[in-house]
Chains A and B, each alone.
Chain A
Amino acid sequence: MTAYEPVIGLEVHVELKTATKIFCSCSTDFGAPPNTQVCPICLGMPGVLPVLNRRVVEYALRAALALGCEVEPASQFARKNYFYPDLPKGYQITQYERSYAYRGHLDIEADGTSRRVGITRINIEEEAAKSFHGTRGPGGAGESYAPPRPSPDSPESAAGGGDEGEGYSLVDFNRGGVPLIEIVSEPDLRSPEEARAYLIKLRNLLLYTGISDCKMQEGSLRCDANVSLRPVGQEQLGNLVELKNMNSFRSVVRGLEYEIKRQTAVLEGGGRVARETRGWDEGRGATFSMRSKEQSDDYRYFPEPDLVLLRVDQAWLDRVGAEMPALPEARLRRMTQEQGLSEYMAGVIGADPLMAAFFDECVKLQGAGAGAGGGEGAAGVGGAITPAALANWITGDLARLANAEGVEFDALPVGPEHLVDLLRLVDAGRISGKMAKNLLEECWRAGQAGEAGQAGQAGQVGKAEQSGKDRPVAPLPSAIARGKGLEQVSDEGEVARIVASVLSGNGEAVASYHAGKDKALGFLVGQVMKASRGRANPALVNRLVREALGARS
């Protein structure tokens, strides 16, 4: 019996998390009331002109760099014509003949082997609006909303749904015009597991670049698959099926497994696999035939006359590369080899791009402070806060607080500046490690209280889009410490004065120390600490008490 080999290629759509849409200045914030983030451009009114968002290009270039693509010096937008209510212009602006990036690759490991998967091309394009399908009758549209369509070029066909029959659709254009990139792989994948490995690797890589949330369940990362079978050893590809509607990594694997079984059965039964688009039905665990959609030439692609060529020179590309956060492998190497983190700690930070970004920011802040001679909070000691110490606090106390509250590292109530400030206090001997832990928690609560206050009065003012730049209002730990008189007293003159007064008030203990009773030393140190209300630097107190006793002997 013939053995068949699956050949799989993936098309991944990724929503870019810019502040505004691709061709107009409407906000891309999620969750606003329907049709409140719209304008004549994204509603497809006549006579308007699209203007490309610079950040869309820069984010798209990050993806191209991360995937090792060649970036075209000039690329072109095209109109893809089809008629659907979520596409108000009657066409989607995308790229077709001249994409901006080609010939990249992604290395994956699956089933115990590693494989280099080719990236054919990446396109920049616009998102469609969101439609809800309803039927008339009791309950109305509200109860029979279907999930949003997975992508602009995949008219989802609910099984058996008729064109313009009973029922109606409701359209919300807030999502229409949100920027997307479409990453098309070569048909280099050979199993559902490899497809999964590719998606996870791609997701992590893109998370690192900071261009998208990449949440499959929320639709900011979507995947279509092309899958065909061929007899093992045969070069020529079999008839290809395009698989859609897979909304999780798991459903990609299940959908592909099902499709491979189905096609194998067709071929073994002597039949031919039909070239078609099929949808994955998660509930039934099966794929179903979607009615034949437009063929490529039905879209009548042509160059978008409303936009000029997109030109990217080397200087721009270099600039984007320089601003890009480090990628996972380079980052892990840097953390262990240059920053002195243990493999374990680097692994913990490396696995969470948001935590990694927080760590990077701390290292940067700390470096800046040390270079400038320590700054106001650092008491001039500067430079001794190692990346490893920062990593320790981040993966320890901060991660514990974050886990307990269920917040991600891009939305903590305290920022990198708080942690660096805190560690500078410890480093300068102004607070003890134990005080630092309490202070961090206090700072955290203050930040939360501040956020609650802000949200109450300001409503939704710009999201923390650039990973937490306009973060927390929590006061710095040094300010809290100062306000509460918590700081350690490390001023030698001040501690010496306390020591002197304690010794002269405890003549008996001083005498018994000189009589050889070492226990008296501990008592005297304790008295000094008490007199300073616990604020005196213990090491300093110890030394000064010994010195003072020595001088009196």
Chain B
Amino acid sequence: MPAVSAAQVRHVAALARLSWDERSAPKLVGELNEILAYISKLSELDTADVPPTSHALDLRDNVLREDEPRKGLAQAEALADAPDSEAGMFRVPRVVGGQ
């Protein structure tokens, strides 16, 4: 069974750009490992004859739309819930470069 380390917690938090308290690392490591242990119960099932599925419905047909434009939201509507905006655009903290 995979075990989560403090280093992994730090890494994932950084990928997710979460700010968090380093002191809570031991607690998070414990909780995440408990969750993993719980989920890994699933691997006790024998799935040798079950084909992998990615969807709850076994749809055999494509679900497609035609390439016809439809009006979406107006700029003011799109920005209505934005915490901050400027010049018709969403204004967010500067994020440049990967983690």
> Which A residues lie at the B interface, using CB under 8 A?
18-20, 24-27, 33-40, 42-43, 51-57, 76, 82-85, 132-135, 141-142, 155-158, 161-173, 290-294, 298, 303-305, 307-311, 462
Contacts and interface: CB of A to CB of B under 8 A. Distances in A.
A51 B67 CA distance: 11
Interface string B14-40: 011100000000000000000000000
A162 B54 CA distance: 38
Interface residues of B, number: 40
A141 B94 CA distance: 11
Nearest to B64: A54
Contact of A311 (B16, B61, B96): B61
11 contacts: A20-B67, A26-B69, A34-B89, A38-B72, A55-B66, A84-B95, A85-B95, A158-B96, A165-B94, A293-B99, A311-B60
Interface string B78-91: 11000000111111
Nearest to B52: A303
A43 B59 CA distance: 27
A57 B86 CA distance: 36
Contacts, number: 166
Contacts of A166: 94
Contacts of A83: 15-17
Nearest to B96: A161
Closest 4 CB pairs of A and B: A157-B97, A303-B54, A39-B72, A293-B98
A170 B90 contact: yes
Nearest to A142: B87
B78 A51 contact: no
A170 B89 contact: yes
B70 interface: yes
B2 interface: no
A141 B87 contact: yes
A298 B75 contact: no
Contacts of A82: 15, 98
B45 interface: no
Contact of B94 (A37, A142, A164, A309): A164
Interface of A (DSSP majority class):
loop
A122 B78 CA distance: 33
Contact of A158 (B55, B56, B91, B97): B97
A530 B59 CA distance: 77
A27 B55 contact: no
Contacts of A171: 89-92
B54 A35 contact: no
Contacts of A132: 89
A164 B17 CA distance: 10
B92 A19 contact: no
A25 B65 contact: yes
A51 B70 CA distance: 14
Nearest to B74: A36
Nearest to A25: B70
Given A76-B54, A134-B94, A293-B98, 20 more contacts: A25-B70, A33-B75, A35-B89, A35-B90, A39-B72, A51-B63, A52-B65, A54-B65, A82-B98, A85-B90, A141-B87, A155-B96, A157-B96, A161-B94, A168-B91, A169-B92, A170-B86, A291-B99, A294-B99, A308-B59
Given A291-B97, A309-B55, A26 B72 contact: yes
B94 A304 contact: no
B66 A54 contact: yes
A164 B93 contact: yes
A291 B98 contact: yes
Given A169-B92, A171-B92, A308 B97 contact: no
B7 interface: no
B50 to A, nearest CB: 15
B57 interface: yes
Nearest to B79: A35
Contacts of A168: 91-94
A35 B72 CA distance: 10
